[in-house]
Each structure stands twice: as structure tokens, then as C-alpha cells.
Amino acid sequence: MSHAVFLHAAGDARVAPFNLREGGAGETLLDVAAVGLCGSDLHYYKDGGIGSAVIAAPFVPGHEFSGWLTEDLPELGLARGMLVAVDPNQACGHCEHCQRGHPNLCPEVVFIGAPPNDGAMTERIWVPKSQIVPVPQNLSPSDAVMLEPLGVAIHAVDLARPGLLERVALVGCGPIGLLILQVLRAMGVGEILACEPQPHRRALALKLGASKVGESVADITEWTKGEGLPLVIEATNVPEGFRDAIRAARIGGRIVLVGIPDGDSYVIPAAEARRRGLTIKFSRRMGHVYPRAIELVATGKVDVDAVVSHRFSLEEAPKAFRRHAANEPGLVKSLIYPGQQHRK
């Protein structure tokens, strides 16, 4: 009998026996190598849901994961035992949104690890073969896990369309913010002014290439003499994130909102946004970005391992949820290793 992490309700994560379902047509079975504790997983834990996606019955979270194949997949050129990543987003492929190149916005999407669909915080999982992502075999399980959040960062920067040497404000230096920071650097932007309340994350942002990192958006306002910057990317988990992004933007500027706010609500001053005449985009998940994510990691242009601060066994996962919900100092990104101890 295998085990899994179940989210029963807000604040209630438990490890319990898990009855693995039978595989369906077109699916393959993976031994889960590693799985990330994502900000969205944390929202399910803290709030009991995200918008209309609520916990109606216990479910297994985890959509950022890598695993080892349990069978040969000759149609993909893959053999049993090879490490692979997985795209958790199964779009319908037929609606107008999919046809327009927006599978991340498909209303009929089946998303691994979002209720009611069980995810990868378990020892084995069935996944559609069409969602298997081959990776270079010199990548570690943790590198392969981090391709999914890196894909979220790439998609956000795609929406932002930064110009060469353009100055950028980054609001929030959590895992996604730190990956966005590295993608921006790879894109050849100019000065990156960031803000982040936690000192260990500020230090990491400086190490990964931010020009200046302040404690709050007031620092960005001071550094720009109140003018703001032409491009702002927000990657926080607080309702005030949208407000701070507005205050960091100059007149006629652009904002891309990536974070999911606690409580699923924003706090914004309407007049400040309106009087700046801002262009605002919302970023959700990703599109077809895995090839670029793999290349960025394989070539060393993005250091995904630098973002991983903690590693837990499956049995320790409830503790990981509690520690992240309490926003303990020192935490950035945590990975969970089912059936093994802290293996990279």
C-alpha cells in the first residue's frame, strides 16, 4: 500500500494510505521522484481553495513533479527507468481558446493536483503519455521538478514583452519572483529594482542578479524619484501586491500580475491606477514553454537549484505545509521526495 499527502480542508494536511487507481487508455505509470510545494498548493492549505476550485473532498495536491518511467515508451523514444517531467495542464485542444494558442486558459482543462484531480504528492501516479516531457538525463529530479515553475516565469515574461535594457520593477522575490528575475536577466533587460519583505529572499535576489532590492515598494519609489518604472512584474501572495505594483509603475507603464493573493482578493487604489493609464495583464500558468525551460536550465542560464531552500520526505510534508503557512524565516522553495530521503 502506497501513501500520499491529502488536503482535507484549510489547515488540514495528512499522510495516509493511498489506493492507486487503475490506469486509463493512453496513460503511463510513474514512480514519483520529487514534487514541489507550490504557492497554489499553499493557498489550498491556507484558504481551502482558489476561487471556484475548492476542496470538497480530500484530495492529493502536487502539480510540479518529476518521475521515473515504469515502462518503455518507444513512441517518445524513452525507456523504462528514465527521468521525465510532466506538464500538469491537460487542455481540451478543441475550444477557441486552445485553438488561439491559450491552453493555459482552457475552461475544460484537467489539471493534475487541483481539486478534484489527485496530484503527485504520493509514491506513484498515472499520467497521460501526451503530458510526459522528456528531459536531458543529466538533470536531477529536483531540476526536472523546477521546470514547471520556471515555465510559469517564462510565460509571465512573455506577456511582459520586456525591451532590451528596459528597466524593470519586480514586486515579490519568492520562488516564482526569483525565477522571473533570472529569466529577465537572460532576456537582456536593464536595471531590475525589486522589493521583498523577507531579508533572506532579498539577499538571494541580489545574488541572482537584481540591481537593488528593498524591503517595500517605497524603496522603488525612492530610487526612481517617484517616477516609477515602465514595466512591473508582481509575484506576491498578498492582496496588496496589485497595489504595490501600481505604485511601482510610471505613467503609461505596464504591469503583469503573476501572484495569487491570499483570500482571492486584491486591495487596489483605483485612482492611482487610472491616473497612470496603466496596461495590466494577468498571468495564469503557462503555454508551450517546456523546450525553453529545459534549455535555460541545461545551459546554466537559470539556476533553479538556487531557489530550493528545503527538502522533505513524504512523511514530513504536513510539517512543510505548516512551516510555509507560518511564513517561517529562511524558507523559499520546498521539495518533497516520496519514498526517499532528500535525494537531489
- Which tens digit of pLDDT belongs to each residue from 153-168? 999 999 999 999 999 9
- Whether residue 342 has pLDDT greater than 60: no
* Residue pair 145/34 in contact by the 8 Å Cβ criterion: yes
CATH code matching the domain that covers 151-282, chosen among 3.40.50.720, 1.10.4030.10, 3.40.50.11540, 3.40.120.10: 3.40.50.720
List the one residue out of 33, 66, 32 whose CA is nearest residue 150.
Answer: 66
For residues 233 and 256, give the distance between their C-alpha atoms in angstroms, rounded to a whole number: 5
For residues 239 and 171, give the distance between their C-alpha atoms in angstroms, rounded to a whole number: 13
Q: Which of 71-75, 311-315, 338-342 has the lowest mean pLDDT?
A: 338-342
For residues 88 and 69, give the distance between their C-alpha atoms in angstroms, rounded to a whole number: 16
**C-alpha cell at position 338:** 516520496
Q: Is 2-146+304-337's fold the same as 151-282's? A: no
For residues 247 and 227, give the distance between their C-alpha atoms in angstroms, rounded to a whole number: 9
For residues 23 and 127, give the distance between their C-alpha atoms in angstroms, rounded to a whole number: 8
SS3 184: helix
Other CB atoms within 10 A of residue 291 CB: 10
* Residue pair 248/169 in contact by the 8 Å Cβ criterion: yes
pLDDT band at 145 (very low <50, low <70, confident <90, very high): very high
For residue 226, report the phi and psi dihedrals to the nearest 5 degrees: 80, -5
Residue 340: the pLDDT is 57
Domain range list for the chain: 2-146+304-337, 151-282
Helix (H) or strand (E) holding 303: none
For residues 80 and 157, give the distance between their C-alpha atoms in angstroms, rounded to a whole number: 35
- Whether residue 343 has pLDDT greater than 50: no
Share of the chain above pLDDT 70, in %: 99
List the one residue out of 180, 178, 184, 181 whose CA is nearest residue 198.
Answer: 178
* Residue pair 106/46 in contact by the 8 Å Cβ criterion: no
Helix (H) or strand (E) holding 117: none
* Residue pair 35/336 in contact by the 8 Å Cβ criterion: yes
- Whether residue 61 has pLDDT greater than 70: yes
For residues 124 and 35, give the distance between their C-alpha atoms in angstroms, rounded to a whole number: 11
Q: What is the mean pLDDT of residues 256-276?
A: 92
Strands 2-9 and 53-54: unpaired
Residue with the bigger pLDDT between 52 and 161: it is 161
For residues 262 and 325, give the distance between their C-alpha atoms in angstroms, rounded to a whole number: 11
Which residues partner with 98 through β-bridges? none
Alpha helices in the chain (DSSP H): 39-47, 96-99, 141-145, 147-160, 175-187, 199-207, 217-223, 241-248, 270-276, 290-298, 317-325
Which residues partner with 68 through β-bridges? 31, 83
- Overall fold of domain 2-146+304-337: Quinone Oxidoreductase; Chain A, domain 1 (3.90.180)
Residue 344: the pLDDT is 44
- Whether residue 341 has pLDDT greater than 50: no
Helix (H) or strand (E) holding 162: none
Average pLDDT of the residues of the chain = 95
Find all residues with CB under 8 Å of 193, minimum gap 6, and list them: 167, 168, 169, 170, 210, 211, 212, 213, 214, 219, 220, 223, 224, 229, 248
